[in-house]
A and B are shown apart, each in its own frame.
Chain A
Amino acid sequence: MRAGQKIIVSEGTTGRGQQPRPGLLDPTDLARLASLDLRARTIVEGAFSGMHRNLHPGTSVEFTEHREYAPGDDVRRIDWKAVGRADRYYVKRFEDETEMHTFLVLDASASMGYRRLGVSKLDYAGYLAGALAYLVGQQGDAAGLLLFDESARSFLPPSTRPGQIREVFRLLEAAQPAGRTDAALALGHLGELTDKRSLIIVMSDLLDSEPDESGDQARGALPERLRQLRARGHDVALFHVLDADEVELPFDDLIFFEGMEPADTRTLLAQATDLAQAFRRESQAFRNRWRGTCLEAGVEYRFARTDAPPAEILRAFLADRQRAVRL
């Protein structure tokens, strides 16, 4: 963890019950937009209007280069001397900013394909990842992408080359939910690929990722991997993406539930209303366990319901990070 930075663990969602801020499109509306590029820009514009958008707000004393000013950059970083010489606006860049890579790690297993109303969890995670990639690209930083199920399915190393962000968008749009989940394996793979300190943003529903369901914290390989990444100096954030059904179980019929992932033979015939109360408690406990695990491991935890506007999630994410730096 860098000096002065604080870990933020927050629900970070408005949820279905809250009124979204004006100008923020909900996931269903976003889905109507033609491309992920457009969606990402819309999310970013909605989330960051009038707000500094730097994902790496930390500062180091080691100046490396100038970059042309882009809307949203901190005006305090404008090099007024350079402006006087060149009659153009330049901002200063420091070592931390130039060398920080951002990995977007998305769970693309079959369970991420669940949706009943609105968009699937994978689509929703894609919106968030796309917006973040767009933001990173705007700042001239290197963004990479890792799509995983039970293994690393697609990997795009971080780069600042032109077309990198577009490649990210393409991979995200092409992603289809399939296969079983093994987030620990994917993060282990990621750990081997990078030895440079990076911002790693993981998006997953975390379902079936905890073999032991007792206690206040999630246990198993994934929490261990998260701790290892933090130990290596990476800045890690975890977006816990769940559908509203996985929070509230709002069914009122006799339902025959079946597992979604391959080889998942679990089934249950039940009157959903009988189960709803116990399910809500279990779901809450499930989130609490992961929140506790992240707090303990120094990982930023974000809960994202797929019926909440992604811009709201993103805005809260960035606002908390900047607040943490100021503190």
Chain B
Amino acid sequence: MHFLAPSLLFGLLAAILPWLIHLIGKRRARPVRFAAMQLLLRSERRISARRRLREILLLVARTGVAAALPLIFARPFAERTTDVPVASLDPQSAVIVLDDSASMSRSAGLSTLFARARDRARALLRQFPSDVDLALLLASAGSSPKIGELSPERARVLEALEDIVCSARPADFAGALRSASLILSGSAHAKRRIYLFTDLQAAGWEAGTGLPREGAPEVIIDDVSGGARWENRAVLDVGVVPAPEAGTGGIAVDAELADFSLAGTRGLGVALKVDGVSVAKGFVDLAPGGRGHKRFLHRLTGEGGGAHDLEVEIDRDAFRLDDRRLAHVELSRAMSVLIVNGDPRTARNEDEPFFFAAALRNGLPSAAVTIKLPDDVSPESLESTTMVALLNLAQPSEALAAGLVRFVSAGGGLFISVGDRVDMTLWNGRMAKLLPQPLGLPRTASALPGQHAGEIVDDRPAERLAPIDRSHPLLANFPEHGEGLGSARFFKYMLLDPAPESPERSVILRYESGAPALVEKQVGKGRVMLLSTTVDREWTDLPIRTGFLPLVREAARRLVGATGDDETASLRAGEARSLVFSGDEQRLEVSRPDGSVWVARREQASAAHSILYGETDRLGTYHVRSVGPDGAVVARPEQDFVVNLDTRESNPARLDPADRPDRIAAASPGAKPPKHRVELWHSLAAVMIGLLFLESALTLRRRRV
């Protein structure tokens, strides 16, 4: 400890005053010859412990106050050797680059590496002399500069520093150092330096240093990790595929796990959570630096579809962000389709399933498609199926019809297409409960094109579809004028007998003549769709039109109650998500994992009715909902997405020293480490005030007694 005015320390002699007063006071005590000594001594025994403690505390408090006053006036201070760079003592222009990438959120003692980095940056800022111009940047990919121009206002930089929170984005040092170099290029100071506070993880340096070869500013790296190796375990990937063997709604969740340690991991706990509820747990052994896999089979509940948030979580370690990984899954991804081929052909391209299955497999890659002949289909086989397609089936057996009624009522989807083989009388009898409308007579618009099978272009007269109504959910994602569907021609189709109006039945597509082309009916918890023509080229060329694939895909989704299938539903932190306005939606709202809400208005959207959402700094599930013109809020689960960690951040490998851009700084010869002066009089004053309070309290108590 040092003093600015040490001569005032003579005042410390005042500290003995309370003791002198105490001793003199004792001597000056008035003698009294008292008769009731017995009572007096008894009273004294009762309170002596408390009285003595109070006397000692009083004496200490008064001595402390008497000693504190001269100490405060002597202005004490301490000198602490700091580990901030010596270079910080020069006048200069400096850009502070703070690594706020995901790996900096790793625990370090009671704090995190990021908090430590911010402390060091704060200490550096306070250490700078007054004539320093400063800027403040972040090292995470896609981050905005905090102070993007050189400024002499240190308080402003300090304030900006306090506002920074660690992100989940990956690091991009090349970008950050390039920006810092650009900022410093306009500096008036001769000395230009970049101070980088980072854990020196190799991830983020893949693109090099980003500095120019000539005239690059000096880079000084503060390795806040202390160079210590850290061991990590991570969930690298989570994949979800349908698992019909697990029953309706069955899914298989595959988790890829990694170990980044020298010793490996035995018995690593892995848990599967669905919508926040832990449903399964297992254990995995991982070799040192090795990978492992864990598969969970689970059956999603909620017949009829719906979106689910899946999460695979492993036992926690110091870096918690990669101990869990999320997936957003809809039932469509676990779709299992059984196609019943009612009119098998030897030539594949003349077979109905050829077109229908191709559309399903391309439109819904995760769907499991099975094709069977009518005789091979048993009612029991429907249990592991989410959707059944009956294509040109002559007549469903009574057992199959009854099984289909149970299947649809329980939430399954049934697609029916007709053709030459269909026996409408039997159909109308056995499938009356399921058919949206009774089947009628076939209507031929022109001569059959049978002898011209295989031709792409057919110039015979045909009917087309009436303009589509995009208000129907199935058609909401189609272009406004129904491109891809409007060009389809229908040479023959089956008329449907009239049926009473019912809210459970709706016509999705009509021919120009007004006859229904695609009709839907709700049966119990499931749906049935009836296409009044073929799904091969025998009665129509729809299967070779561009609208066929999205029509089959959307129909399949709707039949199983799925709301979408989006490969972009899983993002990495920092990536942007395109959100689409559909129908007459006026507003889209994104609910973030922390509960905050981001709002986009239709006016902000592009011509394609889409808008980019880029604030994906937090890991978790982002839910989207839309607001219509009437203010009604509707969930848009098909646009929901999850944000996961960039797996590069999980790798604890450190940057090769040869690739460090701070070799110049490391070569700075023999300067003494700087010392930081810490004023102590504030603390002493606080102690003195505390002692005064104590003394007052004790004295008041005595008077009250």
Instruction: Flag the segment in A31-39, A191-199, A261-269, A293-301 that touches B.
Output: A261-269
B-chain residues with CB within 8 Å of residue A261 when the two chains form the complex? 35
A-chain residues with CB within 8 Å of residue B44 when the two chains form the complex? 268, 270, 275, 278
B-chain residues with CB within 8 Å of residue A270 when the two chains form the complex? 40, 44, 51
- Contact B39 A274, beta carbon cutoff 8 Å: no
- Contact A276 B30, beta carbon cutoff 8 Å: no
- Contact B41 A268, beta carbon cutoff 8 Å: yes
Instruction: Flag the segment in A85-93, A158-166, A205-213 that touches B.
Output: A205-213
With both beta carbons as reference points, the residue of chain B lying nearest to A274 in the complex is identified as B51
Contact partner, A275, options B30, B33, B40, Cβ 8 Å: B40
Q: How far is the CB of B174 from chain A (nearest CB, A)?
A: 76
With both beta carbons as reference points, the residue of chain A lying nearest to B54 in the complex is identified as A274
Chain A 221-254, CB-CB to B under 8 Å as 1, else 0, gives 0000000000000000000001101100101011
Instruction: Flag the segment in B21-29, B596-604, B679-687 that touches A.
Output: B21-29
Q: Is B36 an interface residue (CB 8 A)?
A: yes
Chain A contacts with B in 281-324, Cβ cutoff 8 A? 281-283, 286
Q: Is A279 an interface residue (CB 8 A)?
A: yes
Chain B contacts with A in 5-59, Cβ cutoff 8 A? 25-26, 28-44, 46-47, 51
Contacts A253-B30, A255-B30, A259-B34 given; indicate if A271 touches B43 (C-beta within 8 A).
no
- Contact B41 A269, beta carbon cutoff 8 Å: no
With both beta carbons as reference points, the residue of chain B lying nearest to A267 in the complex is identified as B37
Contacts A274-B51, A278-B46, A278-B47 given; indicate if A208 touches B38 (C-beta within 8 A).
yes
With both beta carbons as reference points, the residue of chain B lying nearest to A121 in the complex is identified as B35
Chain A 43-78, CB-CB to B under 8 Å as 1, else 0, gives 000000000000000000000000000000000000
A-chain residues with CB within 8 Å of residue B38 when the two chains form the complex? 207-208, 213
Complex alpha-carbon distance, A259 and B44, angstroms: 15
- Contact B36 A283, beta carbon cutoff 8 Å: yes
B-chain residues with CB within 8 Å of residue A249 when the two chains form the complex? 40
Q: Is A258 an interface residue (CB 8 A)?
A: yes
With both beta carbons as reference points, the residue of chain A lying nearest to B47 in the complex is identified as A278
Q: Is B703 an interface residue (CB 8 A)?
A: yes
B-chain residues with CB within 8 Å of residue A255 when the two chains form the complex? 29-32
Complex alpha-carbon distance, A281 and B156, angstroms: 66
Contact partner, B30, options A114, A256, A273, A283, Cβ 8 Å: A256
Q: Is A80 an interface residue (CB 8 A)?
A: no
Complex alpha-carbon distance, A282 and B34, angstroms: 15
Size range of the chain A interface in the assembly: 35 or more
Contacts A213-B42, A269-B26, A278-B43 given; indicate if A264 touches B37 (C-beta within 8 A).
yes
With both beta carbons as reference points, the residue of chain B lying nearest to A275 in the complex is identified as B43
Complex alpha-carbon distance, A254 and B35, angstroms: 17
Q: How far is the CB of B23 from chain A (nearest CB, A)?
A: 12
Q: How far is the CB of B698 from chain A (nearest CB, A)?
A: 11
A-chain residues with CB within 8 Å of residue B31 when the two chains form the complex? 255-256, 258
A-chain residues with CB within 8 Å of residue B46 when the two chains form the complex? 278, 282
B-chain residues with CB within 8 Å of residue A246 when the two chains form the complex? 35-36, 39
Q: How far is the CB of A171 from chain B (nearest CB, A)?
A: 22
Q: Is A277 an interface residue (CB 8 A)?
A: yes
Q: Is A260 an interface residue (CB 8 A)?
A: yes
Q: Is A111 an interface residue (CB 8 A)?
A: yes
- Contact B32 A259, beta carbon cutoff 8 Å: no
Q: How far is the CB of A114 from chain B (nearest CB, A)?
A: 4
B-chain residues with CB within 8 Å of residue A205 when the two chains form the complex? 35-36
Q: Is B705 an interface residue (CB 8 A)?
A: yes
- Contact A271 B702, beta carbon cutoff 8 Å: yes
With both beta carbons as reference points, the residue of chain A lying nearest to B28 in the complex is identified as A254
Q: How far is the CB of B150 from chain A (nearest CB, A)?
A: 68
Contacts A274-B47, A277-B705 given; indicate if A266 touches B41 (C-beta within 8 A).
yes
With both beta carbons as reference points, the residue of chain A lying nearest to B50 in the complex is identified as A274
B-chain residues with CB within 8 Å of residue A269 when the two chains form the complex? 26, 29
Contacts A251-B32, A278-B43, A278-B46 given; indicate if A273 touches B705 (C-beta within 8 A).
yes
Q: How far is the CB of B246 from chain A (nearest CB, A)?
A: 80
Complex alpha-carbon distance, A97 and B635, angstroms: 112
Complex alpha-carbon distance, A251 and B43, angstroms: 15
Contacts A114-B34, A274-B51 given; indicate if A254 touches B29 (C-beta within 8 A).
yes
Contacts A258-B34, A273-B703 given; indicate if A286 touches B29 (C-beta within 8 A).
no
Contacts A213-B42, A254-B26, A269-B29 given; indicate if A260 touches B35 (C-beta within 8 A).
yes
Of the listed residues A246, A256, A260, A266, the one surrounded by the most CB atoms of chain B closer than 10 A to its CB is A256
Complex alpha-carbon distance, A208 and B37, angstroms: 9
Chain B 671-705, CB-CB to A under 8 Å as 1, else 0, gives 00000000000000000000000000000001101
Complex alpha-carbon distance, A242 and B39, angstroms: 12
With both beta carbons as reference points, the residue of chain B lying nearest to A269 in the complex is identified as B29
Complex alpha-carbon distance, A249 and B47, angstroms: 15
B-chain residues with CB within 8 Å of residue A283 when the two chains form the complex? 36, 39
Complex alpha-carbon distance, A274 and B52, angstroms: 11
- Contact B30 A111, beta carbon cutoff 8 Å: no
B-chain residues with CB within 8 Å of residue A281 when the two chains form the complex? 43
A-chain residues with CB within 8 Å of residue B703 when the two chains form the complex? 273
With both beta carbons as reference points, the residue of chain A lying nearest to B31 in the complex is identified as A256
Contacts A114-B35, A278-B46 given; indicate if A257 touches B40 (C-beta within 8 A).
yes
Contact partner, A243, options B26, B35, B40, B705, Cβ 8 Å: B35
- Contact B39 A282, beta carbon cutoff 8 Å: yes
Of the listed residues B36, B40, B41, B46, the one surrounded by the most CB atoms of chain A closer than 10 A to its CB is B36
- Contact B26 A268, beta carbon cutoff 8 Å: no
- Contact B43 A257, beta carbon cutoff 8 Å: no
B-chain residues with CB within 8 Å of residue A254 when the two chains form the complex? 25-26, 28-30
B-chain residues with CB within 8 Å of residue A282 when the two chains form the complex? 39, 42-43, 46
- Contact A257 B34, beta carbon cutoff 8 Å: yes
A-chain residues with CB within 8 Å of residue B28 when the two chains form the complex? 254
Of the listed residues A213, A264, A273, A274, the one surrounded by the most CB atoms of chain B closer than 10 A to its CB is A274
Of the listed residues B30, B34, B43, the one surrounded by the most CB atoms of chain A closer than 10 A to its CB is B34
Contacts A268-B44, A275-B40 given; indicate if A257 touches B32 (C-beta within 8 A).
yes
Complex alpha-carbon distance, A275 and B35, angstroms: 16
Complex alpha-carbon distance, A251 and B593, angstroms: 72
Contacts A254-B29, A269-B26 given; indicate if A274 touches B705 (C-beta within 8 A).
yes
Q: How far is the CB of A193 from chain B (nearest CB, A)?
A: 28
Complex alpha-carbon distance, A273 and B48, angstroms: 13
Q: How far is the CB of B83 from chain A (nearest CB, A)?
A: 54
A-chain residues with CB within 8 Å of residue B42 when the two chains form the complex? 213, 282
With both beta carbons as reference points, the residue of chain B lying nearest to A205 in the complex is identified as B35
A-chain residues with CB within 8 Å of residue B39 when the two chains form the complex? 207, 246, 279, 282-283, 286
Q: How far is the CB of B344 from chain A (nearest CB, A)?
A: 109
Q: How far is the CB of A215 from chain B (nearest CB, A)?
A: 14
Q: How far is the CB of A168 from chain B (nearest CB, A)?
A: 25
Q: How far is the CB of B312 from chain A (nearest CB, A)?
A: 70
Complex alpha-carbon distance, A243 and B51, angstroms: 26
- Contact B47 A258, beta carbon cutoff 8 Å: no
Complex alpha-carbon distance, A254 and B24, angstroms: 11
Complex alpha-carbon distance, A270 and B36, angstroms: 14
Complex alpha-carbon distance, A112 and B35, angstroms: 8
- Contact A259 B33, beta carbon cutoff 8 Å: yes
Contact partner, A266, options B37, B47, B705, Cβ 8 Å: B37
- Contact A258 B32, beta carbon cutoff 8 Å: yes
Q: How far is the CB of B22 from chain A (nearest CB, A)?
A: 10
Complex alpha-carbon distance, A205 and B37, angstroms: 12
Complex alpha-carbon distance, A273 and B34, angstroms: 16
With both beta carbons as reference points, the residue of chain B lying nearest to A246 in the complex is identified as B36
- Contact B33 A258, beta carbon cutoff 8 Å: yes
Contact partner, B35, options A111, A213, A279, A286, Cβ 8 Å: A111
Of the listed residues B25, B26, B42, B51, the one surrounded by the most CB atoms of chain A closer than 10 A to its CB is B42
> A246-B39, A259-B33 given. 7 additional CB < 8 A pairs?
A111-B35, A121-B35, A245-B36, A260-B34, A273-B705, A279-B43, A282-B39
Nearest 5 A/B pairs, CB to CB: A278-B43, A111-B35, A114-B35, A256-B29, A246-B36
14 pairs of residues in contact across A and B, judged by CB atoms under 8 Å = A207-B35, A208-B38, A254-B25, A255-B29, A258-B34, A259-B37, A260-B35, A269-B26, A270-B40, A271-B702, A275-B44, A276-B705, A281-B43, A282-B39
